[in-house]
Amino acid sequence: MGSRSHSDGGLARSCLVTATLAVASCLEPNPGYLGPTTSTTEASSSTVVPPVEATGSDAGSGQPTLDGGSTSGPGVGSSESSTGPETTEDSVVCGGPLEPCHVGPGVIALGLDQPEPVTLADLDADDHLDIIVGITNGSSVAVLLGDGTGSFANPLVSAAGQGPLAVATAHLDGDANLDVITGNRDGDDVTVMRGLGTGLLTPPISYPVGDRVQALALADLDGDGHQDLAVAARDDHDVVILLGNANAEFSTGASYPSLWRPEAVALGPIDAGPSLDLVVANRDSDDITVRLGNGAAGFGLPMTLSAGHGPSDVALGDLDEDGWLDLVVANADSDDVTVRFADGNGWFTAGWSIPVGDRPHAVLVVDLDVDGALDIIVANRDSEEVVVLLGDGVGGFGPLVAFDAQTKVSRLAAGDLNEDGVPDLVVTLPDADAIALILSAPSSG
């Protein structure tokens, strides 16, 4: 493993072009490319690992960012240029590391106050992905039905809980329609809205959870065939399990104290056991709590991993393709992402700390350029951009590519909205009362 070589195939020159400004800034191949981990700190379970550093001499030069200007594009420093919801900013990133091309962000105005959480699913069962957005300064969700070309109908608005900060979809009852769940900051609850198959939803049913529900994750935790929830109540400093039944109803299961202010939660198989495990990002204690699952909706003792400052989101994916899910953390206060590699025993070795921009707020892991290797996508709230770190499949990442949104960004979702086989991105724009699409486009080559 130590001899894994750098991949140079994805490091060709690329340009970030902002069409409306007719300015191009090119990303050079990164000489300080971060290769795979060469020295790691193996830690036994239930101990605390020191803060992640880019290891050894890579620390200074090994950041996969280039200079700040070229990664932010020509919009940098133009915070006073208010982007109205109707404005479409066309940036094209193609011809280089990001093959095929992606174009955007293209803005869709919602006219609904502060859209933040977003997910993608086919709510009307026409085989085209739809966009589901929580309206955080309010108590609703908006559904935009897709036609498979990357175009969307006007939003259909249904009632949800108060101040939704998390949204997910699942089949919760016996019918063919997908249902919607929101985690609600101001309602301190989770609400379930059954799908009607049209994009509209039934009135919300509330399940109280705790103070300031911030995040949720969905999976069948006890193997009964019904979806369960792990819900972070940030200001109660715990994660509550809600157990689902066949009728879209939930009962309260165990509650797991976390450290300070759990702000994001993920479920996935971390170790070799058959059960799903729980990963929680703790915003105010700068760490990650990992609990291994017992297959019966219960979780074991907490193991604590350090992260950067202010971890705000977490994602799981096998970045080095060794069969174990690795961990990616967005750190809002240290402006970086932490990447740590799973060892298969329920623990994570040291990895990378990669600067990504100002106030990373959301992260997801997806193979955006369909080269078979997972990539990291980050929404940087204060630098108003979506940035992409292309993975090489052995744990390294190429240069950072940015899509300038010119307004604050919040949460991300990925899916093939225009049905060309290449994932597309949706990011919410809470200050603009809008969402933006970054769509795959035919390669100019």
Indicate the burial class of 31 (C-beta count within 10 angstroms; 0-12, 13-18, 19 or more): exposed
Interface with Ca ion (CB under 5 A), residue from 418, 433, 436, 441: 418
Q: How far is the CB of 187 from Ca ion (least distance, A)?
A: 27
Pattern 178-217, Ca ion, x by CB under 5 A = ----------------------------------------
Judge whether 110 and 142 are in contact, CB under 8 Å.
yes
Interface with Ca ion (CB under 5 A), residue from 383, 415, 440, 441: 440
For CA atoms 298, 302, 306, 309, give the dihedral sign. positive
Strand segments, DSSP code E, in 49-163 are 91-94, 101-109, 115-121, 130-135, 140-144, 156-159
Q: How far is the CB of 335 from Ca ion (least distance, A)?
A: 23
Site for Ca ion, residues 252 to 311, rule: CB under 5 A: none
Task: Give the nearer residue to Ca ion in terms of CB position, either 54 or 144.
Answer: 144
Q: How far is the CB of 218 from Ca ion (least distance, A)?
A: 19
322 interacts with Ca ion by CB under 5 A: yes
Structure tokens at 188: 């301190």
| Count of chain residues binding Ca ion (CB under 5 A) | 21
Amino acid at 169: T
Q: How far is the CB of 428 from Ca ion (least distance, A)?
A: 19
Task: Give the nearer residue to Ca ion in terms of CB position, either 313 or 369.
Answer: 369
Q: How far is the CB of 420 from Ca ion (least distance, A)?
A: 5
Choices 205-213, 245-253, 272-280, 408-416 (CB under 5 A): range interacting with Ca ion: 408-416
Residue nearest to Ca ion (CB): 440
Q: Which of 83, 169, 215 is nearest to 415 (CA)?
A: 169
What does DSSP say about strands 23-27 and 14-18: parallel, antiparallel, or unpaired?
A: antiparallel
Q: How far is the CB of 54 from Ca ion (least distance, A)?
A: 18
Interface with Ca ion (CB under 5 A), residue from 320, 385, 392, 433: 320
Task: Give the nearer residue to Ca ion in terms of CB position, either 250 or 324.
Answer: 324
Choices 25-33, 38-46, 253-261, 432-440 (CB under 5 A): range interacting with Ca ion: 432-440
Task: Give the nearer residue to Ca ion in terms of CB position, either 224 or 367.
Answer: 367
Task: Give the nearer residue to Ca ion in terms of CB position, either 244 or 396.
Answer: 396
Rounded Cα–Cα distance for residues 254 and 260 (Å): 19
If one counts every other C-beta atom within 10 angstroms of the C-beta of residue 444, the result is 9
Rounded Cα–Cα distance for residues 272 and 251 (Å): 29
Rounded Cα–Cα distance for residues 389 and 401 (Å): 7
CA dist 1 → 39, 99, 124, 368 (Å): 11, 27, 46, 25
Rounded Cα–Cα distance for residues 87 and 78 (Å): 15
Q: Which of 380, 330, 382 is nearest to 354 (CA)?
A: 330
Task: Give the nearer residue to Ca ion in terms of CB position, either 130 or 286.
Answer: 130
Task: Give the nearer residue to Ca ion in terms of CB position, either 170 or 241.
Answer: 170
Structure tokens at 10: 């994805």
Q: What sections of 73-113 are H helices per DSSP?
A: none
Q: How far is the CB of 315 from Ca ion (least distance, A)?
A: 13
Helices first, then strands: H and E counts in the chain: 2, 31
- CB half-sphere exposure, 295, CA atoms < 13 A: 5
Amino acid at 134: G
Q: Which of 54, 4, 2, 41 is nearest to 373 (CA)?
A: 4
Phi, psi angles (nearest 5°) of residue 68: -60, -35
Pattern 128-157, Ca ion, x by CB under 5 A = x-x---------------------------
Q: How far is the CB of 417 from Ca ion (least distance, A)?
A: 6
Interface with Ca ion (CB under 5 A), residue from 271, 318, 336, 343: 318
Pattern 354-393, Ca ion, x by CB under 5 A = -------------x-x-x-x-x------------------
Amino acid at 365: V
Q: Which of 278, 257, 282 is nearest to 266 (CA)?
A: 278
Task: Give the nearer residue to Ca ion in terms of CB position, either 329 or 422.
Answer: 422
Task: Give the nearer residue to Ca ion in terms of CB position, either 186 or 321.
Answer: 321
Interface with Ca ion (CB under 5 A), residue from 122, 147, 220, 358: 122
Q: How far is the CB of 374 from Ca ion (least distance, A)?
A: 6
> Using alpha carbons only, what angle is made at residue 61 by residues 375 and 14, rounded to the nearest 5 degrees?
50
Task: Give the nearer residue to Ca ion in terms of CB position, either 36 or 360.
Answer: 36
- Residue bearing tokens 């959870």: 209
Task: Give the nearer residue to Ca ion in terms of CB position, either 277 or 369.
Answer: 369
**Contacting positions for Ca ion (CB under 5 A):** 122, 124, 126, 128, 130, 318, 320, 322, 324, 326, 367, 369, 371, 373, 375, 416, 418, 420, 422, 424, 440
